[in-house]
A and B are shown apart, each in its own frame.
Chain A
Amino acid sequence: MKSLDSLNTVHIASDAILNSIGLSTAEVYESMKQLRSGSKAVSDYTLSEPIAMLSCIDKERFYSIFSTQDMELFSFFEQIQIYVIQEALKNTAIDPSQSDVLFIFSTTKGNIDLIEPKYMLDEPTEKIFLWNSAKRITTYFRNPNPCITISNACISGTQAIIRGAEILKSGKYNHIIVIGADCISPFVVSGFQSFKALSDEMCRPFDAYRKGLNIGEGAAAVILSKNIHTKPQIWGGNVTNDANHISGPSRTGEGLYRGLQKTIQGIDLHEISFINAHGTATPYNDEMEAIALERAGLQNIPVNSYKAYFGHTLGAAGIMETILSARALQNGEILASLGFEEMGVTTNINIQGSFGKSNKPFCIKTASGFGGCNGVLAIKKGGVYGI
């Protein structure tokens, strides 16, 4: 994405989050300021191993505010997306049934539970196909356009925002609703467990005693619109590949380093408030990120990870974490990197251990995933240099 395009700037007009620590962006943000973690020991999802620490949505609370009327055709995965879209649309004048609105979806495993034997007969139902799921949601909102679905592992959400900003700049649409969601299932839990990537306690990104990640679930939506200068701006972004290994992070952080380098071009490093890293708390991921950050000359800038608050929400993570970073930037705040106590990576990066304040105008969001993909976003505080 080309940055510094001051004539047509892309902004976060509205947003919504649902996850283990809140039913709205405001509630999630407040929970984070209070250092609340949604991770709990759960034994329901795996058959052989001991318990896993998971960050699940409080379904009882969710259904106490979300009406299931007309929702028979929608799975839980789809209902949480409909909820965040409705919430993001509230307080805006945007009509999703208009042809100037485009939907972009991001998920890694979508309705994967539909291939469990209890749901699947001979053939999986059509609902398993991610394009089918997305289409039914846009039909619910009476949107006439084709919709886009990105499934690029754990950078899906970050990449969907980058793509949304690019498409918005092309001029074809006035508003882009970007949605990310993933749910916890035995499939996902056993998969990460087979990689020995799960921690049995709250995850500790960048910490010396980190043991692995907590899987989370949730949904998030952002509405991107042009030239709303008081709102946080999607300033730039890039996607790269390590070209190194399909499941192991690069030892040199090559892809992430290149993505960072391209994205921060034109930004004075002294103007970056913080970097919200992917920070999954697996030994290799955090080390890779630390190397890439140092190579890009960002070792002095505060770094945080939100994974200990609400887990790794897979395809939703990039959207959720971008929304929360934009809010922190707008508030002049830096959220604490929960779970961090003792430096556990070999480069000397600056982990934000506790809640802090800064009025600098930029923040950087990164994501990395299986398949060697990396996504980097630069967000600029709204209203700072507004026209």
Chain B
Amino acid sequence: MEYKVVISQNQVFINNKLIFETEFTQDSVVFFKDLFKFLNLNYIKFFKMDPLSKLGFLASELLFQQIECENKEDFEIILACSSSSLESDIQFQSTINDPNNYFPSPSVFVYTLPNIVIGEIAIRHKIMGNNCMYIISPEEKDLFFDKNNAEYQTLDQKKYIKGYLDYYKNKYFAEFLLTINK
């Protein structure tokens, strides 16, 4: 069983079928909020997340809505991104540049780790299995998803989310796969 979600510039596809679209808007944050509403979610933590985490969170929500699975403890979450946490990095850096306006905040700093999105998904679905964040160039996306390649292989190939996501300066892209092998 396999499901694929793609989120790209105001559109959402599940298994290559367009399921959600908004008018072109410059602000990705508005799009993420609209998609969050469309999914009918009640999860207040979403609004505290940085854009990279929101993107990964929404992609995984879309996938888990496709299946019925109460206990997700043993799922693996294997993600890759290209720009890492650069968006939050630049935001954090701006809070320490000026000695007269120095206000580093832990709630910004935590998102300067690209794997926090994995933590957000894990918390939401109580997933405690293997997890990893790889940093790859955009050209390596196919290699990352190639099941015959040892480099980015999951651990036991049973139940996993494997996803590529990227967010920088309002440009975003996510391609997530959910696989359950019996």
**A interface with B by C-beta (< 8 Å):** 1, 47-48, 102, 108-109, 112, 115-117, 124, 128-132, 134-135, 146, 148-153, 159, 163, 166-167, 170-173, 186-187, 190-195, 238-247, 254-255, 258, 369-373
Q: A135-B137, A152-B133, A167-B150 are in contact. Are A255 and B128 (CB under 8 A)?
A: yes
Shortest Cβ distance from A192 into B: residue: B109
With A108-B113, A246-B116, A372-B122 known to touch, is A115 a contact of B129 (CB < 8 Å)?
no
Is there a chain A Cβ closer than 8 Å to B153's Cβ? yes
Cross-chain contact A241 with B89 (CB below 8 angstroms): no
Is the beta-carbon distance between A117 and B123 smaller than 8 angstroms? no
* A148-B93 contact, Cβ under 8 Å, with A47-B99, A167-B150: no
Q: Would A243 and B137 count as touching, CB distance under 8 A?
A: no
| A112→B96 CA distance, assembly (Å) | 13
What residues of chain A lie closer than 8 Å to B152, measured between beta carbons? Answer: 148
Asked whether B123 lies within 8 Å of A254 as measured between CB atoms, the reply is no
Shortest CB-to-CB span from B140 to chain A, Å, is 6
30 A-B residue pairs with Cβ-Cβ distance under 8 Å, sorted by A, are: A47-B99, A102-B151, A128-B86, A129-B84, A130-B135, A131-B82, A131-B135, A134-B135, A150-B133, A151-B84, A151-B113, A151-B134, A152-B118, A166-B155, A167-B151, A187-B89, A187-B112, A190-B109, A191-B92, A191-B109, A240-B128, A240-B131, A241-B127, A242-B128, A243-B128, A246-B110, A246-B120, A255-B128, A370-B115, A370-B116
A48 with B129: in contact, given A148-B134, A150-B134, A370-B113 (CB under 8 Å)?
no
Residues from chain B with Cβ under 8 Å of A151 in the complex: 84, 113-115, 133-135
Q: What residue of chain A has the Cβ atom nearest to residue B138's Cβ?
A: A131
B93 and A170 contact, CB distance less than 8 A = no
Q: How far is the CB of A117 from chain B (nearest CB, A)?
A: 6
Q: Looking at the complex, which of B1-9, B16-24, B100-108, B173-181 is the stretch in contact with chain A?
A: B100-108
Rounded to whole angstroms, the CA-CA distance of A148 and B132 in the bound complex is 12
Asked if residues A124 and B86 are in contact (CB atoms below 8 Å), the reply is yes
B136 touching A131 by the CB < 8 A rule? yes
Contact B136 A149 (CB under 8 A): yes
The answer to whether B118 and A130 have CB atoms under 8 Å apart is: no
**B interface list, Cβ under 8 A from A:** 77, 82-84, 86, 89-90, 92-93, 96-97, 99, 102, 104-106, 109-110, 112-116, 118-120, 122-123, 125-137, 140, 143, 150-153, 155
Q: Which residue on chain A has the smallest CB distance to residue B126?
A: A243
Question: Which of B90, B97, B113, B116 lies at the interface centre, i.e. has the most chain A CB atoms within 10 A of its CB?
Answer: B113
Bound CA span A247–B127, Å: 16
Which residue of A47, A112, A239 is within 8 Å of B130 (Cβ)? Answer: A239
Contact across chains for B122 and A243 when beta carbons are under 8 A apart: yes
CA distance A238 to B129 in the complex (A): 9
The total number of A-B Cβ pairs within 8 Å is: 155
With contact pairs A47-B96, A167-B151, A194-B109 given, residues A370 and B132 touching in the complex (Cβ less than 8 Å):
no
Given contacts A370-B110, A370-B113, A373-B115, are A146 and B140 in contact (CB under 8 A)?
A: yes
Complexed CA–CA distance, A238 and B153 (Å): 14
Q: Which residue of B lies closest to A167 (CB)?
A: B150
Whole-angstrom distance between the alpha carbons of A387 and B102 in the complex? 60
Residues in A whose Cβ lies below 8 Å from that of B129: 240-241
| Chain B: minimal CB distance from A116 (Å) | 7
Cα distance, A103 to B109, chains bound together (Å): 29
* Residues A370 and B119 in contact in the complex (CB < 8 Å), given A148-B151, A240-B128, A240-B129: yes
> Given the complex, which residues of B lie within 8 Å of A190, measured CB to CB?
96, 102, 104, 109
A187 and B113 within 8 A (CB)? no
Q: How far is the CA of A153 from the CA of B115 in the complex (A)?
A: 7
Q: Judging by beta carbons under 8 Å apart, are B153 and A166 in contact?
A: yes
Check A149 against B92 for contact (C-beta < 8 Å).
no
CB pair A109–B112 under 8 Å, yes or no, is yes
**For the complex, what is the distance from the CA of A355 to the CA of B40, rounded to whole Å?**
58
Minimum CB distance partner of A248 in chain B: B110
B79–chain A nearest beta-carbon distance, Å: 10
Residues of A within 8 A of B134 (CB): 148-151
Tell me whether B123 and A159 are in contact (CB under 8 A). no
Alpha-carbon gap, A254 to B126, bound state (A): 11
Chain A's closest residue to B72 (CB) is A243
Distance, CA A369 to CA B116, complexed state (A):
10
Complex: how many Å from CA A242 to CA B121? Answer: 11
A194 / chain B contacts, CB cutoff of 8 Å: 104-106, 109
A191-B137 in contact (CB<8A):
no
Given A151-B133, A241-B128, A241-B129, is A115 in contact with B123 using a C-beta cutoff of 8 Å? no
Q: With A and B bound together, what is the CA distance between A1 and B155 in angstroms?
A: 7
Kindly provide the distance from the CB of A288 to the nearest chain B CB, expressed in whole angstroms. Answer: 15
Chain A's closest residue to B123 (CB) is A243
Q: Say how far B149's CB is from chain A's closest CB, in angstroms.
A: 8
Which residue of B has the minimal Cβ distance to A130? B135
Contacts of A1 in B (CB 8 A): 155
Q: Are A191 and B104 interface neighbours, CB within 8 A?
A: yes
